[in-house]
Structures are given as C-alpha cells and as structure tokens.
Amino acid sequence: MDTHDCVVVCGVDGSAAGERAVEWAVDEALRRGCGLRAVTVWSWNGPDYGTTLNSAEEARNRAVDLQNRVLEKMVGERREPGVERLVMEGRPSEQICDAALDAELIVLGSHGHGAFHDALVGSTSLHVIRNAPCPVVVVPDPPRAERRHRAAMARHHRSPGSQGGVPMF
C-alpha cells in the first residue's frame, strides 16, 4: 500500500451491497487522498452438513479469492488509492472495528435482510456503528434501495399535502 496519512476501511463480503460499498469507498478514498484498507472476515467451525468447506485453511483461501475477485471487479483499471488487503478470522463487526483504529471512515454494505432477520441474528452494520472508532457509512443494498425509493415516491404522490404543502421535518 502507498504511504498515506489517512485510511478508509471497507468491508468486502461479495454481496451486491458490499460491491457497491467498495466502489463508494474507493471514490471516497481518492477524494480524501487516503489509502483503502479492504477487510474480509471469515470463520470456520469445523465440518458441517451441507458446507463445501473442509478446513479452516480452505475457508481462509475462499475469503482471499473472494476479496481478490471483488477488488479486481470494483477497482480494476481505475486509478486506485493504494489498497491494503486484510483477510481475518473472527466476527466481522469486531475485526472491522479493530482494522479501523487508525481510520478516518468505515464503509459497509447493507445486506437489507430486514428488521426481523437483524433482530434474530444481529447486524454487522449495527454492531460496527455502535463500536466504531470513526464515522461509518452504510451503503444500501441496490434492489432494496430501489424498492424503498419507488414506495416513497408512490406515497409522496398519494399524500394529500404533496401538492405545495409545507415540508415537515
């Protein structure tokens, strides 16, 4: 990684929102003149029915491959800010916060599972927001963001005060 006075940390998980977050983080790192620290977190709890992972080494290798694919796709030919790649074992929210101790910003993608899922299993984004040593940007899941936008526009056009009413904040 190039020598920079600042760093933007980005979680890399291979999801659509995660890829969008990497793209946003690269742009922000370039704008700020910062380096980019890409963080991919993996875990392996032993062989499990239905999993294709046979060892911790295989789980780590898969995480490295995923990170390489995402960064190649999202950074590719662009003038990159200098990318430091971290592949770490553990809980994603904890590892991302630890990787951001010297960061100016953390950028994450939102999976958009919804409130019920997040209440049951927790949300990496929420844990990071609560424990981050710096500001956090959560980039929305593209399909979910589009659905929410269409729903908001439909509500706006149906509401009685939408034609010249006073805005309420």
Q: What domains are defined for the chain?
A: 7-154 (3.40.50.620)
41-93 pLDDT per residue, tens: 998 876 665 566 678 898 899 999 999 999 998 877 666 668 999 999 999 99
* Adjacent-strand bridge partners of 11: 39
2-55 pLDDT per residue, tens: 456 899 999 999 988 899 999 999 999 999 999 999 999 998 876 665 566 678
pTM of the model: 0.77
CA distance linking residue 96 with residue 124, whole number of Å:
9
pLDDT bracket for residue 133 (50, 70, 90): very high
CA distance linking residue 51 with residue 4, whole number of Å:
40
**Residue pointed to by tokens 């200098």:** 82
C-alpha torsion sign, points 76, 81, 82, 83: negative
